[in-house]
Amino acid sequence: MTVQKLADTFQGTNSPVRLEKVRAAYKLTYGFNPYSNDLTDYSRPELVTFEEVKELYRMWVGQDENLLFMLERPGDPSWGRKWIAVKCSKRGNDVYRWRVQGRIDQLRSALQELPITVGTTTNCLFVTLTDNPAFSCQKDAWEGIGVRWNRFLSNIKKRYGALAFVRSWESTMNGRPHVHALLIFESALFKTFTREGKVRIEEKDGIARFWDSNVDVQGARSRENVLAYITKEIVKHVVTNDQDDPTLALLWLFRKRSFSIGGRILRAALTRLDRSMHNSNRKLLSLDSFGLPLELEGVKWTLIKPVRRAEELIRYRTPGQKEGLWSYELAEAPRS
């Protein structure tokens, strides 16, 4: 299907690409039940290929959309109403990358606090879990990767005890999922040796036995090595913004989080960081995506649904504001 045909099929004149419609088409293409509830309102979608899914993702992320907020000060009618447009964070756009980078900076700071042992033994492992295409199709592989990871992690903890982890999904260029994970064990230590310039562990088979495909395990050389791994492997598809990398498109299609963290000691370190940020009087604004009013210094923020295309709101922008801002004030209430 050509790009123009994709645009004509998956978006209307005033409506951007929507994930639900792409998922419905993908499911029909790969043999899902066409009468599934997932296909509500899209009973006859076009079929899509893997390459077309990637193109649709690029179209979707390139379509700027805004949240619209109405601001009021209760009990003070002289304050009137104000209207604020805020650019949406969409997986892969500049707002999203800024948010993820902020979280990664926090994570790197938290990892500085954790006990990491390196040398002849290590408590810190870099694990890559690959997927065998002989076992499942692309659809089943992506939909089952979370269950397989949880089973792997559960077995590892049963054998080696408590641990902290940072985990990400990544796609190969042909669309198969695999897992990158940083594992930091609270008490278990693994004997190391060096082979071809890489730190390996003698207990590799004990780790690999809990995964059903190929497994690569490396030990950490240093704390700096651990911090570099976060950027190099865990979030590289966000940081590099490689348009040819299908990872973000498939995470979007299958509604997967880019990365996750777990473990008592890591969560405790992150909590301490959060508290220190609040104690330094940093003001944080949380925007409620369900339209519930929020109070901030006496001002009530109400989300006005639905999400708007940026070009629908930009013409209402108050004159004199800088171009390219992620949020801006409107001179008047936009028409529906």
Cβ-based neighbours of 125, under 8 Å, separated by 6 or more? 182, 183, 185, 190, 201, 207, 217, 218, 219, 220
pLDDT of 188 reads 97
Mean pLDDT of the chain: 84
Q: Which of 80-89, 109-118, 291-300 has the lowest mean pLDDT?
A: 291-300
pLDDT for the residue 291: 43
First to last CA, the chain: 34
Higher per-residue pLDDT: 61 or 11:
61
Local structure of 120: helix, strand or coil: coil
Helix (H) or strand (E) holding 87: strand 81-87
Burial of 251 (0-12, 13-18, 19+ CB in 10 A): buried
Range with the poorest average pLDDT among 45-49, 82-86, 140-144, 269-273: 45-49
Note the pLDDT of residue 202.
Answer: 96
The model's pLDDT over 124-178, given as tens digits with 9 standing for 90+, comes to: 999 999 998 888 888 889 999 999 999 999 999 999 999 999 999 999 988 999 9
Element spanning 159, H or E: helix 138-160
Q: Residue range 278-305: average pLDDT?
A: 59
Give the residue with greater pLDDT, 117 vs 44. Answer: 117
pLDDT at 12 over 50: yes
CA atoms within 13 A on the CB side of 281: 0
Interatomic CA distance for residues 85 and 234, integer angstroms: 32
Bridge partner residues of 124 (DSSP):
184
Please say if the pLDDT value at position 241 is more than 50. Answer: yes
| pLDDT, position 76 | 86
| pLDDT tens track for 87-131 | 999 999 999 988 888 889 899 999 998 999 999 999 999 999 999
In one-letter notation, the amino acid at residue 32 is F
CATH number of the 107-279 domain: 3.40.1310.20
Task: Quote the pLDDT of residue 295.
Answer: 54
Report domain extents, the chain.
3-61, 65-85+290-330, 107-279
- % residues pLDDT > 70 (the chain): 84
pLDDT at residue 255, as a whole number: 93
Residue 286 reports pLDDT greater than 60: no
pLDDT level of residue 23 (50, 70, 90 thresholds): confident
- The pLDDT value recorded for residue 236 is 80
Q: What is the DSSP string of 170-217?
A: EE-TTS-EEEEEEEEESS--EEEEEETTEEEETTHHHHHTTSSS-EEE
Q: What residues does 200 pair with on adjacent strands?
A: 193
ω into residue 306 within 30 of 0, thus cis? yes
Which tokens belong to 41?
Answer: 């309102």
The pTM for the full model equals 0.84
**Residue 38 — very low, low, confident or very high, per pLDDT cuts 50/70/90?**
very low
Both tokens of 202, joined, read 């003698």
Most confident of 39-53, 99-113, 145-159, 250-264: 145-159
DSSP state for residue 317 in the 8-state scheme:
B
314 vs 6 pLDDT, higher one: 314
210 vs 187: CA distance, rounded Å? 20
